[in-house]
Chain A
């Protein structure tokens, strides 16, 4: 703690002071956030700096806590679906799916096959959009201003496509218990078919212009090495775990929906560093394109919502169930416990970002400040999802 009267007002709140108690002599306590350009929203990290070296780092959460789990207790299952789109604005459909899937599991509801394919297609499109958002923002963190404009150019096309069936551009609440809200119309399918070759042609350009750039490579190679053991200890999933060489993808490990019928690869990287996570996400975008392509071909005609689909007043039958999907950031889980009443008794949401962020304190130790930003970015954090 500082004793200089001139900078005493900077000594900070409870977290900072508590953190500063164990700080080394002459070290600087710096609050990165909650308003800081590289923390994407309202993440706050208290760091202890010795020069530019990070001695200790501690994420402080809760600036965007919106009580989603409590809200689940005071709403019926169908009324809660819109909340899920707001948990993670990056990959809203993944969250839609996790909750809807859990409710269906408890309710014993079978989803029509066409609806399953539509879910896969929209969810994978949303995954690409989420990865593009990460890609642009990450390079912005590393000081490259231009890629985000190209990323948003591509993302715009996806948002235009998803706008047609879902009716919204970011916080989708498109899935229903027992299917989806609207069918993909001919216009939408045409746009998707146009998008796939177009985006496939863009990916090599990104590789040449950005991924292979020497400055970028020097910035992210061997930075933020996460061992497999650490990943497991913190429960990290998604590209963070796969970037460390753990071949775990919920779509393959706990197959759900029609994913077993689709042919795609789960990319992993043995680099374990920020570069590994970067590569995994770039390849995942290609694989998502493959999935969409196949799903479009295999999609049968038929119902998109079961007959007598649950109305807003539908009571989830007594019981409990857990459903997990592979989100853009990792394993998204929803655990639903119902006592057969009007509202669900308790809903627990598993956010992948929360586990991935927990790694940061350990990984950032001993790195320099610029690397900390590179590590933080490579974890692909969406703060509303972490705080829920």
Chain B
């Protein structure tokens, strides 16, 4: 037994826990989204399976697993099946450095933020592959949109995150959280409100959530890049989308909302509460607003978010330097 290094054991347990929680979060989020959407639209949402329909996503998942995996003629078989796997796997890695509580994280690295940003960039690749390999014009258009959108929105996202880590002086999420206090006025959102707004808008764009869900715009592109996917091929994309939402909301919580800090309640509970609040905000946005147009989406990014993020970063750097001299 002693032959197994403790470090490896730690990572394996972390990975299993992450994989399990990603699946669970996916199921819960599907239920929450449908229930919230239902109530926004003055209908009950799912209520047949289990109390208040909580077992509905489980049934949906079972149905997806049972479906035939269909591949269109002329599609590239390797890339076509690689894409959903590629969409889902990096997401598991993204969960590793998330600090749920004080010292409660799967992988304690001092470059956690960098790890998340690097691996979330892989999502674009999977979308591009999916659209390209499925040999479908809608898929191709969706993929082209997704690439343009993700590449564009990654930049302000990165810049807003950088501004926070400048202040904290660390790329380690746990360190950033430790730099914040218990009460809301001790959180980074008070010193970096602009960065938070830029981050949140960019995160909506990055995760392809409405009103920026252009790559899968139903009314124009049927389903965009995942038009041709059936069964779990589609399920993987679906799960990855929800997992990505959790990741961006968790990062936002850690960076801006004080992470596990909060009065009375235990730390991890605060973390989960804050993430849930942000997720609900995303769900509300999706069921309230129409979709923006593609060129408008890019205009928002290049003409507003990017210059603002750069200005914010420069100002932050200036004041950080000033504080060092003082």
Q: What residues of chain A have their CB less than 8 Å away from a CB belonging to chain B?
A: 6-7, 9-10, 28, 30, 36-38, 49, 52, 139-146, 149-150, 153, 213, 215-216, 218-219, 368-371, 373
Q: List 11 A-B contacts (CB under 8 A).
A: A28-B137, A30-B138, A30-B141, A52-B145, A143-B210, A143-B213, A143-B289, A144-B288, A215-B291, A368-B293, A369-B141
Contact at B219–A219, with CB atoms within 8 Å?
A: no
CB within 8 Å for A10 and B137 given contacts A145-B287, A219-B293: yes
Stretch at the interface among B40-48, B78-86, B167-175, B177-185: B40-48
B222 touches A215 (CB 8 A): no
Distance between Cα atoms of A139 and B291 in the complex (Å): 9
Q: Given the complex of chains A and B, what is the CA–CA distance between A370 and B141 in angstroms?
A: 12
Task: Give per-residue flags for B212-227: 1 if the beta carbon is below 8 A from chain A beta carbons, else 0.
Answer: 0100011111100000
Q: Which residues of B contact A373 (CB under 8 A)?
A: 219-220
B222 — which chain A residues lie within 8 A by C-beta?
Answer: 36-37
Could you mark each residue 281-322 of chain B with 1 if its beta carbon is under 8 Å from any beta carbon of chain A, else 0?
000001111111111100000000000000000000000000
Measured in the bound complex, the distance between the Cα atoms of B211 and A9 in whole Å is 35
Q: CB-CB < 8 A to B73: which residues of A? A: 9
Q: Tell me which residues across on chain A come within 8 A of B145, comparing CB atoms.
A: 52
Which chain A residues lie closer than 8 Å to B219 at the CB level? 37-38, 140-143, 373
Question: Are A218 and B293 interface neighbours, CB within 8 A?
Answer: yes
Contact residues in A for B213 (Cβ distance below 8 Å): 143
Q: Contacts of A6 on B, CB cut-off 8 Å? A: 74, 135
Residues of B within 8 A of A28 (CB): 137
Q: Are B42 and A52 in contact (CB under 8 A)?
A: no
Chain A contacts for B286, CB-based, 8 A:
145
Q: Provide the residues of chain A in CB contact with B296, threshold 8 Å.
A: 218-219
Complex contacts, B42 vs chain A, CB 8 Å = 149-150, 153
Given contacts A9-B74, A143-B213, contact A30 B291 (CB under 8 A): no
B266 to chain A: closest CB distance in Å? 36
Q: Which residues of B contact A370 (CB under 8 A)?
A: 217, 220, 291, 293-294
Chain B proximity of A341: nearest CB distance (Å): 48
A2 to chain B, nearest CB (A): 11
CA distance A377 to B145 in the complex (A): 22
Assess whether B41 is in contact with A149, with CB atoms less than 8 Å apart: yes
Nearest opposing residue in chain A for B286, CB measure:
A145
**Distance in Å: Cβ of A264 to nearest Cβ of chain B:** 30
Complex CA–CA separation, A36 to B219 (angstroms): 8
A270 CA to B141 CA in the complex, in Å?
35
* B37 at interface, CB cutoff 8 A: yes
Q: Which A residues touch B135, using CB under 8 A? A: 6-7, 10
Classify the interface of chain A: helix, strand, loop or mixed. Answer: helix
Which positions 19-76 of chain B face chain A at CB distance < 8 Å?
Answer: 37, 40-43, 73-74
Name the residue on B nearest A223 (C-beta): B293
Give every chain B residue within 8 A of A38 (Cβ-Cβ): 218-220
Chain A, residue nearest B221 (CB): A369
Among all A-B residue pairs, the 4 with the closest Cβ atoms: A143-B291, A149-B41, A38-B219, A144-B290
List residues of chain B with CB within 8 A of the CB of A145.
Answer: 37, 41, 286-287
Chain B residues within 8 Å of A, Cβ to Cβ: 37, 40-43, 73-74, 135, 137-138, 141, 145, 210-211, 213, 217-222, 286-296
Contact of A142 with B294 in the complex, beta carbons under 8 Å: no
Write the nearest CB–CB distance from A167 to chain B, whole angstroms: 27
- Chain A residue nearest in CB terms to B212: A143
**In the complex, chain B residues whose CB is within 8 Å of the CB of A146:** 37, 40-41, 287-288
When C-beta atoms are compared, the residue in chain B nearest to A8 turns out to be B74
**In whole angstroms, what is the CA distance A385 to B288 when docked?**
32
Q: Tell me the bound Cα distance from A10 to B221 in angstroms.
A: 16
Contact indicator A215/B211 (Cβ below 8 Å): yes
Task: Give the distance in Å from the alpha carbon of A167 to the alpha carbon of B60 in the complex.
Answer: 38
Q: Which residue of B lies closest to A149 (CB)?
A: B41
A139 to B41, CA, bound (A): 14
Name A209's closest neighbour in chain B (CB-CB). Answer: B288
CB distance from B69 to the nearest CB of A (A): 20
Interchain nearest-CB distance for B141 vs A (Å): 7
Neighbour of A144 across the interface among B137, B289, B295, CB < 8 A? B289
Chain A residues within an 8 Å CB radius of B43: 149
B288 surroundings in chain A (CB, below 8 A): 144, 146
Please name all residues of chain A whose beta carbon is closer than 8 Å to the beta carbon of B289 when the two chains form the complex: 143-144, 213, 215
Interface centre among A7, A9, A37, A370 (most CB of B within 10 A): A370
Q: How far is the CB of A65 from chain B (nearest CB, A)?
A: 24
Q: Which residues of B contact A142 (CB under 8 A)?
A: 219, 290-291
Complex contacts, A371 vs chain B, CB 8 Å: 293
| Known contacts A145-B41, A146-B287, A368-B294, then 8 further A-B pairs from the complex at CB < 8 Å, ordered by chain A residue | A6-B135, A7-B74, A9-B74, A145-B286, A153-B42, A216-B290, A368-B293, A373-B219
CB distance from A16 to the nearest CB of B (A): 12
Question: Please, how many angstroms separate the alpha-carbon atoms of A369 and B294 in the complex?
Answer: 9
Nearest CB on B from A142, distance (A): 4
Q: How far is the CB of B79 from chain A (nearest CB, A)?
A: 13
How far, in whole Å, are A263 and B9 apart by their CA atoms in the complex? 82
Query: Do the beta carbons of A215 and B141 come within 8 Å of each other?
Result: no
CB of A69 to closest CB in B, whole Å = 32
Find the A residue at minimum CB distance from B210. Answer: A143
**B141:A52 contact, CB within 8 angstroms:** yes
B84 to chain A: closest CB distance in Å?
21
Q: Which of B37, B40, B137, B290 contacts A143 (CB 8 A)?
A: B290
CB pair B287 A215 closer than 8 Å: no
Which of B43, B73, B220, B286 is the most central at the interface, judged by chain A CB atoms within 10 Å of its CB? B220
User: What separation, in Å, do the CA atoms of A160 and B295 have in the docked complex?
Assistant: 43
B290 in contact with A30 (CB, 8 Å): no
CB neighbours (8 Å) of B287 from chain A are: 145-146
Cα of A28 to Cα of B139 in the assembled complex, Å: 13
Docked pose: A368 CA to B289 CA in angstroms: 21
Report the bound CA distance from A7 to B132 in whole Å: 12
- Chain B residues with CB under 8 Å of A219's CB are 290-293, 296
Residues of B within 8 A of A141 (CB): 219
State in angstroms the CA–CA spacing of A371 and B220 once bound together.
9
- Are B290 and A139 within 8 A (Cβ)? yes
Residues of B within 8 Å of A149, CB to CB, are: 41-43
- Measured between beta carbons, the chain A residues less than 8 angstroms from B40 are 146
CB nearest neighbor in B for A216: B290
